[in-house]
């Protein structure tokens, strides 16, 4: 059971492993299959005992979701917030992580320690003061307030991950470039950044994931329908008078699909990010 290198397995052990693997697959994927298949079922099937496989597929829930609800606006809000969060996270965390690894200065450890500590903050320990501060300066209930809130999660993640990444990168690379006549900034832009692309991709992915899936901060910060993100919008559908499960499952599928697509294309960055312990969730 514990080695990956055995070539001589009894048929019984083989069967047990396939059975266990099938159980893992079923446990992990069935709810997702059920979400997607429910979003594609005809209405009359949703209102009777559903079969495991839909008898025919229809996009009616997607049409009604996109045509009759605020979903398109919410999707756009989610996208704007997530992309802005990713962009700002990248700029800030690259600058901070690079500065901390390359400058000899007392107290720089405090920045990294502060970032680590931020991992442990209860969400409300940040959400309550941020909400109060935004209300004081008139930023409450704006997408910008949500971007700033998300940065409190994504920036520590980015700094922590890139800190490890830059630390492992030999300083001689930049030195060589500077000997060849590059300025420090030139060496940073032409040598360090291109070599850091894998780390940057990982940070971008997880910043996007955190922002895109966030419910807690959106619940505190956003009040008006016009500024709701998808997680907030979907959650408020469930409190509605008539439960439109088909619409809800269609909306859920639409917001999960970009994440699944990104995972299929970039799975090694996801694994890398998790194993570096860089990720909060």
Partner 1 sequence: MTRWMLPTFLAVGAIATLVLIVGPALYAVSLSFYHMTSLTSEPVFVGLAKYADVLSRAEFWNALVNGIVYAGVSIVLQVVLGIGFALILHQPFRGRALVRGLAFLPYLLPTVIAVLTFKWMVDGSLGIVTILMDDLGLPPIYWFETESAAMWSVILISVWLWTPFVTTTFLAALQTVPSQLYEAARVDGAGPVRRFFHVTLPVLRPILTVIILLRGVWMFNKFDVIWLTTGGGPIGATEHLPILSYRTAFALFDIGAGAAIATISFLFLSLAVFLYFRAFPMEDDA
Touching partner 1, residues 11-40 (CB under 8 A) = 14, 17-18, 20-21, 24-25, 27-29, 31-32, 34-35, 38
- Considering only residues 80 to 99 of the shown chain, the ones binding partner 1 according to CB under 8 A are 92, 95-96, 98-99
- 63 touching partner 1, by CB under 8 A: no
Contact pattern from residue 207 through residue 236 relative to partner 1, giving x for each residue in contact according to CB under 8 A and a dash for the rest = --x--xxxxx--xx---------xxx-xx-
E strands present in the chain = none
Q: Of 55-63, 67-75, 193-201, 205-213, which segment contacts partner 1 by CB under 8 A?
A: 205-213
The residue from 80, 83, 119, 169 that contacts partner 1 (CB under 8 A) is: 119
The residue from 81, 90, 115, 157 that contacts partner 1 (CB under 8 A) is: 115
The residue from 184, 198, 226, 240 that contacts partner 1 (CB under 8 A) is: 184
- Going by C-alpha positions, the residue among 212, 239, 79, 219 that lies closest to residue 154 is 212
Displacement of CA 269 from its chain's centroid (Å): 12
Q: How many CB atoms lie within 10 A of CB 267?
A: 10
Minimum CB separation of residue 174 from partner 1 in Å reads 11
Minimum CB separation of residue 24 from partner 1 in Å reads 5
Q: Of 58-66, 69-77, 79-87, 120-128, which segment contacts partner 1 by CB under 8 A?
A: 120-128
Q: How far is CA 131 from CA 80, 156, 217, 220, in A?
A: 20, 20, 9, 7
Q: How far is CA 50 from CA 31, 35, 46, in A?
A: 14, 13, 6
Using the 8-state DSSP alphabet, how is residue 55 labeled?
S
- Considering only residues 136 to 175 of the shown chain, the ones binding partner 1 according to CB under 8 A are 136, 148, 151-152, 155-156, 159
Length of the chain as a residue count = 281
By the 8 A CB rule, do 206 and 271 touch? no
- 57 touching partner 1, by CB under 8 A: no
By the 8 A CB rule, do 111 and 100 touch? yes
């Amino acid at each position: 059971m514990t080695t990956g290198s055995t070539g001589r397995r009894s048929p019984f052990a083989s069967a047990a492993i396939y059975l266990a693997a099938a159980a893992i697959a079923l446990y992990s994927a069935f709810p997702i299959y059920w979400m997607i298949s429910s979003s594609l079922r005809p209405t009359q099937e949703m209102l009777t005992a559903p079969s495991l496989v839909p008898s025919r597929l229809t996009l009616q829930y997607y049409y009604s979701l996109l045509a009759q609800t605020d979903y398109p606006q919410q999707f756009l809000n989610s996208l704007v917030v997530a992309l802005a969060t990713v962009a700002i996270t990248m700029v800030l965390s690259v600058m901070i992580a690079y500065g901390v690894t390359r400058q000899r200065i007392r107290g720089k450890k405090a920045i990294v320690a502060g970032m680590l500590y931020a991992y442990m903050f209860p969400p409300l320990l940040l959400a309550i003061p941020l909400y109060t501060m935004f209300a004081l300066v008139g930023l409450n209930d704006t997408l910008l307030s949500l971007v700033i809130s998300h940065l409190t999660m994504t920036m520590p993640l980015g700094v922590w991950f890139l800190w490890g990444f830059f630390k492992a990168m030999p300083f001689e690379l930049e030195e060589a470039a500077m000997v060849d006549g590059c300025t420090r900034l030139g060496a940073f832009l032409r040598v360090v950044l291109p070599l850091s692309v894998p780390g940057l991709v990982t940070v971008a992915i997880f910043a996007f994931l955190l922002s895109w899936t966030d419910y807690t901060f959106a619940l505190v910060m956003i009040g008006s329908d016009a500024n709701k993100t998808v997680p907030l919008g979907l959650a408020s559908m469930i409190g509605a008078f008539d439960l439109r499960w088909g619409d809800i499952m269609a909306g859920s599928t639409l917001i999960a699909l970009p994440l699944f697509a990104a995972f299929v294309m970039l799975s090694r960055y996801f694994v890398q990010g998790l194993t570096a312990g860089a990720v909060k969730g």
